[in-house]
Amino acid sequence: MAQIDTADGAGLHAIAITDQVERWSRRIARAWSVAAIALFVALAVTVGVPHGPDLETWERGIQLGAVVLLIAATVLAWRWEGWGGGIMLVGAILLGLLTALQHQPLVAFLPTAVFLVPAVGFLIAWHRTKSAASVVVLATVIVMVLFTGSVLAQEFYDRGFGPAHPQSTLPALPDTPVTWIWSGGVTDTSAVVVARVATSQEAALVVTDPGGQSTTHPGVRNDDVWRFAVSDLEPATPYQYAVAVGESPVVERLGSFTTRSSGPMSLKVAVASCARLGSNGRVFETILETDPDLFISSGDLFYVDHARTADHFTDAYLQTLTQPAQAALYAAVPIAYVWDDHDYGGNDSDSTAPSRQQALDAYRRNVPHYALPAANAIYQSFAIGRVQFVLLDDRSQRDPKSEPDGPDKTMLGAAQLEWLQERLLASDNFALTVIVSQVPWIASQQDGADHWAGYAYERRTIADLIAEHKIDNILMVTGDAHLVAVDDGTNTDYSAAGNASFPLLHAAALDRPGSVKGGPFSEGMHPGGGQFGLIEVVDTGSDHVTVHLRGLDWEGNELVGYSFMVPAADEGAP
């Protein structure tokens, strides 16, 4: 045992820190810190660094800065253990905070703990001969730093995954054999209903017309999810539906839809994207209060970046469709939904995403959709009155954003691009064609961009077709960036001829913090959460159609608006 120095307060010798313990503390701290840095770098290369759901550009930079800080601390600690240990402690807390952008605080503490061990080891070696008072000060500082870091970690996690606006106070629906329902694929004579039934009993769909007459329709079961294709309905007619389990309809899960008119009709379409997993935001109530004929989700219906199986996605649908506010909206309003990155394969994902097939399998199982022209994608089109809707799949067919832009780089894939061109050429049969693209269209060309700016060659190909054929009845709807905005056509023309402008509505975010991507927009932009867009088409059967675009918040306040008029075709074509 080393001799205890009693002349200066004894310091850490008073608690039996020997020369041998000091040496081993130093050795372990050095070896541990080097191994921890090597492990973190290896994980960063193979798995990726922790990040928020939207992976903002600054996050990678700060992650790199944290690694550099920890490396510098390790090097310093070999010569100046006090400075090195102190800096390593700061780096450990920073690493934990960054991890909290993606993981719960208790999980985020793990990388902090990995570097906290060598940091304390270095500080013990340095502080061994200090006074007892200074030891207490050091211990107090470490505890305070850890406490502050835990508080900040919770704040980081809440920002990444918590509500972006007030949540709904609607009561939860009672437990029934039918867990969730929603409808889509609605035409003038047909509709699709999908429901999850938590029982092995047979299920059927009971559809009731305004006169109280009911018909029963069989379904197709896929595990506990049932799909019902309803046909032979009357045009422009409201219907109610309920899933019958055994002999009894489950009336606690009533749904409704209205078939479309076979001719001109006015309509109201709500559109938005980007809601955190399990959101019960007030915005869904506000959307329902506008009484839309259709709700278009243009992607990120939920955030499940780490989903790798079809069951993972199916569980996400369960968490989404059972939230009271979302359940109320989807029971009353048919949906048309296409995915973006976070509900498909993770941030900025593309055709190489490991979850590609699993996301597709889960989509086909759980989502009521219109006919899908391709077996390996979810793009689709349909008509309501004299309006054609064209929903793109901007994710599952695209090349990685890192590839150089040019004729060999695609966002849509050859088959979908050809299909889109056919739908654009069919615009003459409609008063209006609404193109739904999940990612921003307006942005200056930028190598490596995740949106159309990084696929500028293909964007120009589309714009040149619009210009060449003088297609002047297009409206585009985009999402992904967490803002509502409108452009009157000033900034949407990317054709070589300069004759392919069209109005654009950007609609997001349902329940995510605000962010800015793309632009400019002639009517301005409003970043934020709890927001959505509204398209109102006034079609009385005359020779023109009026379109009103609005960006609204969760309180129903109009943030941006614009109206325009287009000449009407004689009749629509599906």
DSSP letter string over 498-541? S-----EEE---SBS-----S---TT-EEE-SSEEEEEEEE--S
Of 161, 189, 212, which residue sits at a domain end? 161
The strand pairing partners of 244, in sequence order, are: 204, 249
Whole-angstrom distance, CA of residue 135 vs CA of residue 149: 21
Residue 15: pLDDT over 90:
no
> Is 440 in a helix, a strand, or coil?
coil
**Listed residue (240, 238, 218) closest to 228, CA to CA:** 218
> Is 561 in a helix, a strand, or coil?
strand
Q: Tell me, what's the pLDDT at 54?
A: 65
Residue 9: pLDDT over 80:
no
Going by pLDDT thresholds of 50, 70 and 90, the confidence category of residue 14 is very low
Whole-angstrom distance, CA of residue 517 vs CA of residue 340: 15
Q: Are residues 54 and 140 in the same domain?
A: yes
Our CA angle for 491, 485, 378, nearest 5°, is 90
In a domain, residue 167? The reply is: no
Whole-angstrom distance, CA of residue 460 vs CA of residue 125: 64
**Listed residue (437, 376, 436) closest to 411, CA to CA:** 437
Proportion of the chain above pLDDT 90, given as a percent: 66
In a domain, residue 27? The reply is: yes
Whole-angstrom distance, CA of residue 349 vs CA of residue 343: 10
Whole-angstrom distance, CA of residue 394 vs CA of residue 401: 12
Q: Are residues 232 and 272 in the same domain?
A: yes
In a domain, residue 345? The reply is: yes
Give the DSSP per-residue string, 465-504: HHHHTT---EEEEE-SSSEEEEE-STT----SSS-----E
Q: Are residues 365 and 272 in the same domain?
A: yes
Residue 212: pLDDT over 80:
yes
What CATH number should be reported for the domain holding residue 470? 3.60.21.70
What is the average per-residue pLDDT within 253-263? Answer: 94
Higher pLDDT, 207 or 151: 207
Q: CA dist 462 to 49, 398, 489, Å?
A: 36, 15, 15
Residue 457: pLDDT over 80:
yes
Whole-angstrom distance, CA of residue 139 vs CA of residue 136: 5
Higher pLDDT, 115 or 372: 372
Give the DSSP per-residue string, 297-347: E-S-SS--TT--SHHHHHHHHHHHHTSHHHHHHHHHS-EEE---STTTTST
Q: Are residues 295 and 368 in the same domain?
A: yes
Backbone CA torsion sign across 527, 529, 531, 532: positive
Q: Name residue, tokens 């550099």.
A: 68
User: Do residues 562 and 490 lie in contact, with contact meaning Cβ atoms separated by under 8 Å?
Assistant: no
> Is 221 in a helix, a strand, or coil?
strand
Whole-angstrom distance, CA of residue 291 vs CA of residue 288: 5
Q: Are residues 47 and 145 in the same domain?
A: yes
Q: Are residues 444 and 530 in the same domain?
A: yes
Q: Are residues 230 and 331 in the same domain?
A: yes
Residue 191: pLDDT over 70:
yes
Six-digit token string for 343:
């509900």
What is the average per-residue pLDDT within 198-220? Answer: 95
Residue 1: pLDDT over 50:
no
Q: Tell me, what's the pLDDT at 130?
A: 66
Q: What is the pLDDT of residues 132-158, one digit of tens each?
A: 676 677 778 778 888 888 888 777 777
Our count of domains for the chain comes to 2
In a domain, residue 129? The reply is: yes
**Listed residue (181, 230, 192, 209) closest to 328, CA to CA:** 181
Of 134, 161, 188, which residue sits at a domain end? 161
What is the average per-residue pLDDT within 183-200? Answer: 96
In a domain, residue 5? The reply is: no
Give the mean pLDDT of the chain.
90
Q: What is the pLDDT of residues 520-567, one digit of tens each?
A: 999 999 999 999 999 999 999 999 999 999 999 999 999 999 999 999
Q: Are residues 183 and 96 in the same domain?
A: no
Residue 202: pLDDT over 80:
yes
Q: Tell me, what's the pLDDT at 40?
A: 80
Q: What is the pLDDT of residues 300-340, one digit of tens each?
A: 999 998 888 989 999 999 999 999 999 999 999 999 999 99
- Residue 108 has a CB neighbour count (10 Å cut-off) of 24
Q: Are residues 516 and 468 in the same domain?
A: yes
User: Do residues 242 and 206 lie in contact, with contact meaning Cβ atoms separated by under 8 Å?
Assistant: yes
- HEC string of 230-259 equals ECCCCCCCEEEEEEEECCEECHHHCEEEEC
User: Do residues 547 and 568 lie in contact, with contact meaning Cβ atoms separated by under 8 Å?
Assistant: no
Phi, psi of 215 (to 5 degrees): -125, 150
In a domain, residue 170? The reply is: no
In a domain, residue 185? The reply is: yes
Of the listed ranges 13-27, 163-177, 215-229, 333-347, the one predicted with least confidence: 13-27
**End-to-end Cα spacing for the chain:** 90
Q: Name residue, tokens 């769909």.
A: 205
Whole-angstrom distance, CA of residue 358 vs CA of residue 280: 26
Residue 11: pLDDT over 60:
no
Q: Tell me, what's the pLDDT at 2?
A: 39
> Is 287 in a helix, a strand, or coil?
helix
What is the average per-residue pLDDT within 230-253? Answer: 95
The two beta strands, 387-391 and 380-384, are: antiparallel
DSSP state of 219: -
- Residue 94 has a CB neighbour count (10 Å cut-off) of 21
Residue 112: pLDDT over 60:
yes
Q: Tell me, what's the pLDDT at 17?
A: 62
Residue 122: pLDDT over 80:
yes
Six-digit token string for 414:
């050859």
**Listed residue (264, 266, 256) closest to 210, CA to CA:** 256
Of 161, 195, 213, which residue sits at a domain end? 161
Residue 4: pLDDT over 50:
no
The one-letter code for the residue type at 22 is E
> Is 271 in a helix, a strand, or coil?
strand
Phi, psi of 563 (to 5 degrees): -130, 150
Query: What is the Cα 190 distance to its own chain's centre?
Result: 30
Higher pLDDT, 268 or 106: 268
Residue 84: pLDDT over 90:
no
User: Do residues 437 and 476 lie in contact, with contact meaning Cβ atoms separated by under 8 Å?
Assistant: yes
Q: Are residues 473 and 539 in the same domain?
A: yes
The two beta strands, 474-478 and 432-437, are: parallel
Radius of gyration for the alpha carbons in the chain, expressed in angstroms and rounded = 29
Q: Tally helices (H) and strands (E) across the chain.
A: 11, 22
Phi, psi of 21 (to 5 degrees): -65, -40
Q: Tell me, what's the pLDDT at 574?
A: 41
Q: Are residues 117 and 217 in the same domain?
A: no
What is the average per-residue pLDDT within 27-33? Answer: 86
Q: Name residue, tokens 């976070």.
A: 342
**Listed residue (277, 318, 271) closest to 298, CA to CA:** 271
Q: What is the pLDDT of residues 61-81, one digit of tens each?
A: 777 788 888 888 888 888 888
Q: What is the pLDDT of residues 506-521, one digit of tens each?
A: 999 999 999 999 999 9
Residue 572: pLDDT over 50:
no
Going by pLDDT thresholds of 50, 70 and 90, the confidence category of residue 5 is very low
Q: Tell me, what's the pLDDT at 6?
A: 40
**Full domain range(s) for residue 254:** 178-567
Q: Are residues 69 and 204 in the same domain?
A: no
In a domain, residue 1? The reply is: no
